[in-house]
Chain A
Amino acid sequence: MTAAPARPPQAAPRRRVPLRLLLVAGVVLLTVGVLAVAGLQGSLVYYRTTSELLADPALQGERVRLGGLVVRGTVETTADGVRFELTDGVQDVPVVNTGQPRGVFQEGQGAVVEGVLGADGVFRSDVLLVKHDNEYRPPEDGTGRPAEDRG
């Protein structure tokens, strides 16, 4: 802290400050809150479902995130990545991802990919994230120790 000049004695009425301050803070936070809610509900939906993507032709050719469950039996490793289908239970979308999946990617689990839906109906992505649910349970074999348990 540096030296400050001596302040004049405080003669100002002290009651008005908090009210004004509260009003300003209230208006600011309300604005931020309204913007946040509007923004998050509109443009910041983290991903679209397969049905939403297919129902909105404006999204074709746009870079979007697409989320869904990885359809069992569709996962294939390709030369430069992985190919699979995503579903929301109604519509399936074939996905070709560049790059091997990280995270706990597996069939029947959730995944979110980032890329572009082509005119051929194939979604080409280069970001693959895994979405897991909020249920926690031990591995199926009942020992509480999965086979690869080390690390």
Chain B
Amino acid sequence: MATTTTRSRRTDRLLAAATVLAAGAAAVLALLVAPPDAVQGQPQRLMYVHVPAAWLAYLSFAAVLVASVAHLVTRDLRWDRRARAAAELGVGMTALAIALGSIWGRPVWGAWWVWDPRLVTTVVLLLVYLGHLSVRGLGDDPATGARRAAAVGVIGFVNVPVVHFSVVWWRTLHQPASVLSPDPAPMDPRMATALGVAVLAFTLAGVLVVRRRLRVLAAAGPAEPAPAPLPSPVTGPLVVTPRIRP
């Protein structure tokens, strides 16, 4: 056990070092090496954080799907914790992608927000996974909460392709994807490199955050359903004491 923890901590340190390196390289590439866009100018550089945030949200929700299926099959609460840690990251990244997109939209589109299918479906995605995190705490049986969360985690994933392909299926103000697209668009190689390294940096940081969060969750909650409360030493069979649950 102790050696596992030590090895896990060492992996975290390596991951942290790789994250810092990738993030530093991404910052240099995105701010200094890549040219501004011919049409959009400097605000286009928001792409190097907006797109990786959206990518990491998709990746997190895919992890939620896998962990939720595993939990429904095994009923193991460790899978529930993995789903929860990934969903927390995904919700944060979805909110970040919306916020950064809004900041990008104001100078380029001329509006902070538009009722465009891509934007609306992304907010729905955020709400579904907030729901996934919320249903876990409804009721006081952790096993039931975990099952409900897993159900949302499986079914809610249909929203991910809906968000991603919203720009293809419907006519939107939001531009279609340039890279993860059935019809990739040309991009300056310096821009594409900066975007790739930024995606790598976000992914590494996400893995690190989820690993650390899992350790916190594992320390906070038991792996097994809570054992039956121990009988109080002073109470006999004839004494009734109200049991108070936290």
A contact set with B: CB distance below 8 Å: 1, 3-7, 10, 17-18, 21-22, 25-26, 29, 33, 36, 40-41, 44-47, 67, 101-106, 109, 112, 127-140, 144-146, 148-149, 151
Contacts and interface: CB of A to CB of B under 8 A. Distances in A.
A130 B175 CA distance: 11
Interface string B165-182: 010011111011110010
B92 interface: no
Given A136-B44, A138-B38, A139-B35, A47 B108 contact: no
Given A26-B155, A138-B35, A133 B114 contact: no
A13 to B, nearest CB: 13
Contacts of B175: 131-134
B246 interface: yes
Nearest to B241: A6
Contacts of B164: none
Interface in B6-50: 35-42, 44, 47
B216 interface: no
A36 B41 contact: no
B35 A144 contact: yes
Q: Is the interface of A mostly helix, strand, loop or mixed?
A: loop
A4 B185 contact: no
Contacts of B59: none
Contact of A47 (B36, B42, B173, B177): B173
Given A18-B147, A21-B151, A140-B38, A130 B117 contact: no
Given A144-B190, A146-B38, 13 more contacts: A44-B115, A46-B173, A109-B39, A129-B173, A130-B110, A132-B39, A132-B109, A136-B187, A138-B188, A144-B35, A148-B41, A149-B41, A149-B42
Interface of B: 35-42, 44, 47, 72, 107-111, 114-117, 120-121, 124, 140-141, 144, 147-148, 151-152, 155-156, 158, 162, 166, 169-173, 175-178, 181, 185-188, 190-191, 242-246
Nearest to A133: B175
A47 B187 CA distance: 27
Nearest to A103: B110
A66 to B, nearest CB: 12
14 contacts: A4-B140, A6-B243, A7-B140, A26-B155, A29-B155, A29-B156, A47-B173, A129-B114, A132-B108, A134-B181, A136-B191, A138-B38, A148-B41, A151-B42
Given A1-B246, A134-B177, A134-B178, A128 B187 contact: no
Given A46-B116, A130-B108, A133-B185, A5 B35 contact: no
B170 A25 contact: no
Contacts of A67: 171, 173
A136 B110 contact: no
B47 A136 contact: yes
Contacts of B173: 46-47, 67, 112, 129, 131
A105 B39 CA distance: 9
A129 B111 contact: yes
B35 A47 contact: no
Contact of B110 (A17, A41, A128, A135): A128
